[in-house]
Structure 1
Amino acid sequence: MALSNKHILLIISGGIAAYKSLDLIRRLKERGAKVTPVMTRGAQEFVTPLAVGALSATHVFTELFSRQDEQDVGHIRLARDCDLVLVAPATADLLAKMANGMADDLASTVLLATDRPVLVAPAMNPKMWEAKATKRNIATLKSDGIAFIGPMAGEMAEKGEAGVGRMAEALQIAEAVEHLLDDAPKPLKGKTAIVTSGPTHEPIDPVRYIANRSSGQQGHAIAAALAKLGAEVTLVSGPVTIPDPAGVTTIHVERAEEMRDAVLGKLPSDIAVFVAAVADWRVASSSEQKIKKQPGDAPPALQLTENPDILKTVGHHEKRPRLVIGFAAETQNVEDNGRAKLQRKGADMIVANDVSPETGIMGGARNQVKIISASGVDAWLDLSKTEVAERLAALIAERLT
């Protein structure tokens, strides 16, 4: 199991998302981890130590000044006798304490005393997440080496509230823990990588846009696979409904021009993998107001203009990465079109696939690809998108090491 013999100290702080900690404990344990919970007083207002202890099958620590737990300076023992400290949920209050070195309860004292890796899963109202004070605290914690997972966008507990602030789901957090504690060889350590993923949305008016059926699954999997091999990965993602991969810095964009700017802003880099299905065209002048349909009127004519070719731009850039890989989503003549794209774009490799509707590849969980390079063509047949990502990451590592 991925977390066998790993000891996780789970700090649960006081927010409505504390209920998710119950599922999180289960997910960590099914991966083989030992989980020791610490609960703040606020957390106990949302879930009980009895429920947490029943799932963790261990003692739940709640008080700094406990005669029983502190007879051997228990807070120091908790801080050191683990492989990783996980804070889920991490409230704005606890993040502020961490950033400012406060230690006025068991949770904050343990966090100040630990010398182990720390992963936090923030959860709070979107306005609190966007507050200047919270942003300052997050910047401080990141500079101190604290790892983050989330928060995610979605509906809040408060009626009518939505935005970024939801705690990451238990499976996402468990994957992030696995990533941080993964002691497998890291052949790409010290290398930087840029990966693009998903579709782009090119606005017609405030309501409508031009897009495609890309789900982002393949691009996100490649970003995760590169990070697993030790690369410092920036994922530039168009609008998708899947979560950001663990261990990766994600930049969210909508339009092709935004994606280009984000990519160029991350150069120089060692690796660039262009998986995103970028729209070839955009509306030359999108309407600021919704285009209304009028009885008897002909459909409005859309004047299109070409979007920037991000792969070609980077493939011929003065700061060109050492390894540039593009994707070719085709519906016919897959290999021929892939070869032509290899030459035209200045890429080192093209990963070509047939995305005809009957294949189920676009939006599906599996893929069949052809790796086209100057040395020939290699066919990878009927693999999961995760398997494609892992094989491609291994190939990249082989090329660069």
Structure 2
Amino acid sequence: MIPRVGAAFAEAFGRRADGVWYAPGRVNLIGEHTDYNDGLVLPFALPLGVSVAAARRDDGVIEVRSRQAATAVTAPVDGGPVVAEGWPSDRAWAAYPVGVARVLREHGVGGASLLVDSDLPRGAGLASSAALECATALALCDLHGVEIDRPGLARLAQRAENEHVGMPSGPMDQSASLLCTAGRALMLDCRSGLSSQVPFDPASGGLTLLVVDTRAPHALADGDYAARRAECEEAAKLLGVAALRDITDLPGALATLRDPVLRRRVQHVVTENHRVEAVVGLLRAGAVAELGALLNASHLSLRDQFAVSWPEADAAVDAALRAGARGGRMVGGGFGGSVILLVAADRVGRVRDAVTAAYAGRGWAEPGFHDAVPSGGARRVTVPWQP
């Protein structure tokens, strides 16, 4: 992908790029819908991501093109929230890099020409938008000589998504893309911003973590995700806490809330934070094979308490477990996207066949499969024309 994006930049802009920057997508091992509740998450980076070839401009303009989108977008860096400008759907993808540029302008970043390429499936719940934001942020900072530490840059990329795309996401995706390292999962405290690297090597235990793209695309900015966040904020207000992270007496909290929907939302968030801590303990003990039950519990909670699962995800998890998978759950914000499955290496073929057959029996499109190998985070990439 790296030589390809450089060649595409030269063809599109008639000059050579100053460099290429890469940011990976992520899978969240566990800790879903906890990030915007000031909670705990445990993502790791995928060996799939977004590459951005870029060259500096000094005219205050950002021009963005993509090998995956037909529409090129040119916009001033000095501008307000993109979401307020009412861009048509064929330009919506560019709100992510333009939003990043406008947020970073406050830190001394100026214009640039960008050419984007990706091998991450869009709408699969693997943080393709965050990868685009992070690759763009690194490129712009390097091009304009701006130094921002990685945790700070993750928060700024999150802010761009919140303010310019209109997506009220938490900090997990951007933090994962920028901070993850190979062979590790990232234990991130979304309140303090503190993180630690947790050893995570499924292959050493004869296991594979399989990502299933259910082919049911999600669009989190369409309101469902925002509704869940609003419900959590309402529950926290009624319970007199800053965020659901602060609940220490779950039975007492559930007894206080009259709304059954809010009770279910609270139950998921509180128990999901406990599951993150339990998974970290197992990983530090080298007990990767014991994660299955916690993955299953997370999926059931997301399905029944948080109501963000979807039929293709439920069918994939059910078929995989019947075929011998140790555990599985939906990942991402929900309403479409992907599933992760923990599978013994010698059962991967059987599990893939079972999930594929379950989809065929329902008349659904064939799912996609990716081995989820914990990989390195965002970085500038050495390319042939650079020393």
Output the TM-score relative to the length of structure 2: 0.29
Q: Whose relative contact order is higher, 1 or 2, with alpha carbons under 8 Å and at least 6 apart?
A: 2
- Higher CA-based Rg: 1
TM-score under structure 1 normalisation?
0.28
Of Structure 1 and Structure 2, the greater helix share is in: 2
